[in-house]
Amino acid sequence: MESTDYETQIDNLVDAEQLDEAIQLIETLESVLLKENKDEKLREVQMLKAEKLFRRKRYEESMALFGACSAPPERVIKLFPPAIAGELSIWPEQEEDGSDREDHGEEEEQPPENGGTDKNGENGSPLGDEETSKPNGEADPKKENGASGDASAAKADAKTDSSGDATPEKERSVTPELKRSPTVDTYGSMRNIAFNRKYGETASIFSFGSRRVAVDNASLLDSASIAAKKNAEVDETPRPLEGDELKKAAQDLIGTFLNDVRRKLTKYFNSEGQPLDPLTVLAPGPAHGASKKDSLGATFLVLDGALEEDEDPARARIEKLMETCRLVDTTLFRAYMLVRPALIGSLVRIQNHCDPDVVSDKLREQGKFEELVDFLERKKLHRDALELLRFFGQADGDSKAPGLRGPQRTVTYLERLKAEHTDLILEFAMWPLKVEPVLGMEIFVGDTGNSESLPRSRVLDYLEQQNQNFAIQYLEHIITELHDQTPEFHTRLAGLYLMALAGDLTDEEKGKWHARFLGFLETSGQYRAEKVLGSLPRDVPEYYECRAIVLSKMGRHKSALEIYVFRLHDHDKAEAYCVRVQQNSNIASEEVDRVYHTLISLYLRPPAPYSQQLGPALAILSRHGARVEASEALKLIPENVRIHELKTYFESRIRAATAKVTENRIMAALRKSHLVDVQEQFLAARNSHATVAEESVCPVCHKRLGLSVIWRLPT
C-alpha cells in the first residue's frame, strides 16, 4: 500500500516494454519531481522505443525518432550488420561459408543464424533457455535431458517481451510455482552476461529468442487476455538484416537519420571546412540555447577519461567531433554502396570525413576507380591518386578503367595541385611529357593560377633536363605572357636559343629559330648584354645582326652601326636603327640626334680600310638633316661636293627653321589672345553690384538683411 516513487514507476514501465506510457509519464511530470535529469531520462526512453521500432522493422519511424532525440550515431549504426556499420556492428561478420570471422572466447557464444543450431544442439532456440513447443504439446527430449529434473518447472514457459528479458506473466500476482526454474534462469543469465561482454550496452535491448508461453494455471487468465496475447505474439528474434530488409533499412538510415546528423554537424566547421572547437560554437548565446535542444552537440563537450597534463582540452573535443564525423560519413558511404551506388561520385567529391581505408577498399572491389581518384584528391592523398592514374593511364585497351587511359586525367589532376606539391608535380609530369609533349606542357604553361605559382627556377631546371625545347617554351611563356622581368630567365633563354641554333637543323628550321632569337633580343631589355655578347660568335655572318642588337642595348651605337654599314652593307637597316633609337630613347633630343651624326661620320669618314660612301650620307642628310647640327654636318662634308648636291639638305634645314619661327609666332598670338580674355572677365567681375535696401530680405530664410554680412553668389 506504500506509494512508489516516479523513478521506480518509470523503470517498471520500461521493464514491461510499455515505453509509450513511460514517455507520457515523463513528459507529464515536472523536473523537480524527478531525481534524475528529465531531458536525459526522456531521451533514453525515446531511444529505447526507437530500438523497439527497429526490431519490429518499422525503420523509417525508428530513424525519425532517433533523429528527433539526437541519439548518438554509434548507438544507431551498431544496430546494422557489418556491411553498413563495419567493426562497430553488434553482429559478427560472416564468411562466405556462413562461419563467423571473429574468434570468440570460451564463455562467449554467437547467436546462430535463422534455422541454425547452437552449441547444445537446440534448433530455433537461440539462447537455449526456453523450451520449444511441439505440435502435439510434447516436450523436446533433448531439452528434458538438459533440464534440472523438475518436470513441473520445465513445463512453465516464460512470456516473451520485446526487450529480450523473460518476465513471467503477472509476476506480482501469480504464485512462485509459476516462475522459471532456477537452472534455466542461471543458464540464461550466463548467456546474457556473455553476450553483453561482446555486444555492449545495446545487447540489453534485444530479445534473443521468441518465448511462447503456455500457463499451467488457466484460471489466472481469462479467455480475452489469452486471445489478445495470441494476437500480439510477434517473433522478435534478433537477426542481422539481409537482402531487401537491409536495403530498406539502409535507405531510411540515409534519408532520415544520417543526412540530418550531417546537417547538424556542419555548424562545427568554418567556410573552409576546418573544424571548430565545439565549446566556442556552443558559447552563451543563441547557439547555446539551440544546443540544449540538440543533445548531440553536448556530447562533444564531455570528454571520456582524464586528460593528460600536456593534452589540450580543445584539441580533445575536436578529435571527438572528428571521430563522430568520420563514423557518420563512412556509414553513409557504405549505405550508398549498398542501395545507391550512383550517388557515390557526388559524395566523394564534396567535403567528407570518410575513412580512407574503407572507401579505398570498397571502391577497388567495385571497380569504381574514377570515383576513387576523386576521393583521394579530396582527401589530399595525392600520391596514391597519381599512382593510380599513372597505372591506368599507361594500361592497354583491356584496362578495368578505360576512362582513365592516357595522360589527360593526370595532366588535369596536376594542374589543380598548388606549389606546395611541386615535388609530386615534377615526379608525375614525366610520363605525360614523354607520351604527349604538347599536352604535358599544359601543366606548366596552361592558363591556371597554380602553374603561375610554381617555383620557376625548379621547373626550368627540370624541363631543361628533359628537353631544351620544353625549357624554351616555358621561358617564353613566363617572359611574354607572365611578364617576368628576372634577368636570369632572360639570359638563360638567350643561351637556349643559341644552343638550339647550334644543333643539326634544316635551313627552314634554322631560319625560324634565328627569327625568334632576333625578336627576343630586340624586345627584351632584361638580359645581361655582356654575357650574351660574349656567347655570340664574332666572325659568323648569321650572328652579325644579333651582335648589333646587343651592342645597341649596351649603348654602344657606333659599334652597332659599324656592323650594319661595313659588315652587313645594309643602309636601310642602319637608317632604321637610328629611327628606332630615336623613338625608344628617353634621353634628351640633342643626345639622340648624335646617332645620325655618328652614321653620317661613318659614311663620310670611315675607319681604315673602308672607303667613303657619299651617296648614303647625302641621303641621310636629305631625310634627317634637320636633326643634325648644321655646323657639324658641314664640317663632315668633303670640299669637292657641289652645292646643288646639298640642295635637299639646305631645303630641309630652311623648312625646319621656318617651321620653328612660325610655331613661335602662333604661340605668341595665342598667349596674347588669352590675356585679353582674362582682362575682359576681370572688368566684368569688378563692374557687377548688388543693391540692398531697408526692405530687402534674404530669399532663403526671409529675414531682413539690415546690417548683416552679405555674401553674393555669382550668377
From the list 148, 158, 162, the residue with the least C-alpha distance to 179 is 158
Phi first, then psi: give them for residue 558, nearest 5 degrees.
Answer: -65, -45
Contact 216, 194 (CB under 8 A): no
Q: How far apart are CA 384 and CA 400, in angstroms?
A: 17
The SS3 of residue 379 is coil
Give me the helices (H) in 202-294, please. 223-232, 243-252, 259-265, 278-281, 286-293
As a whole-number percent, the residues of the chain with pLDDT over 90 amount to 38
- Output the pLDDT for position 638: 81
Opening angle at CA 256, ends 253 and 260, nearest 5: 110
Exposure letters 337-350 (e unless 16+ CB within 10 A, then b): bbbeeeebeebbee
Q: How far apart are CA 563 and CA 540, in angstroms?
A: 12
Banded model confidence at residue 305, pLDDT cuts 50, 70, 90: low
Q: How far apart are CA 661 and CA 665, in angstroms?
A: 6
The larger pLDDT score, comparing residue 59 to residue 17, is at 59
- Output the pLDDT for position 491: 96
Per-residue pLDDT reduced to its tens digit, 267-296: 889 888 888 888 888 765 444 444 455 677
Helices (H) and strands (E) in the chain, counts: 38, 0
Supply the DSSP symbol for 355: -
Per-residue pLDDT reduced to its tens digit, 346-361: 999 998 999 999 999 9
From the list 637, 656, 655, the residue with the least C-alpha distance to 646 is 637
Contact 514, 549 (CB under 8 A): no
The average pLDDT across 324-345 equals 93
Contact 410, 428 (CB under 8 A): yes
- Output the pLDDT for position 591: 58
Helices 356-366 & 369-378 angle (0-180, nearest 10): 160
Q: Which of 112-121, 446-455, 649-658 has the highest mean pLDDT?
A: 446-455
Contact 529, 511 (CB under 8 A): no
- Output the pLDDT for position 326: 94
699: β partners: none
Q: How far apart are CA 451 and CA 442, in angstroms?
A: 9
Phi first, then psi: give them for residue 123, nearest 5 degrees.
Answer: -90, 125
Per-residue pLDDT reduced to its tens digit, 531-562: 999 999 988 999 999 999 999 999 899 999 99
Q: How far apart are CA 641 and CA 518, in angstroms?
A: 39
Per-residue pLDDT reduced to its tens digit, 132-190: 333 333 444 333 333 333 433 333 333 333 333 433 333 333 333 333 333 333 333 33
Per-residue pLDDT reduced to its tens digit, 84-118: 988 888 887 665 444 454 444 434 333 334 333 34
117: β partners: 123
Phi first, then psi: give them for residue 474, nearest 5 degrees.
Answer: -65, -40
The larger pLDDT score, comparing residue 198 to residue 101, is at 101
The larger pLDDT score, comparing residue 455 to residue 300, is at 455
Per-residue pLDDT reduced to its tens digit, 406-430: 999 999 999 999 999 999 999 999 9
Which three cell numbers, joined as nine digits, stand for 505? 637543323
From the list 171, 165, 210, 213, the residue with the least C-alpha distance to 189 is 165
Phi first, then psi: give them for residue 633, nearest 5 degrees.
Answer: -65, -40
Exposure letters 600-632 (e unless 16+ CB within 10 A, then b): bbbbbeeeeeeeebeebbbebbbebbbbbeeee
- Output the pLDDT for position 175: 34
Opening angle at CA 425, ends 419 and 430, nearest 5: 155
Domain ranges of the chain: 6-69, 77-94+240-379, 155-232, 433-651
- Output the pLDDT for position 590: 58
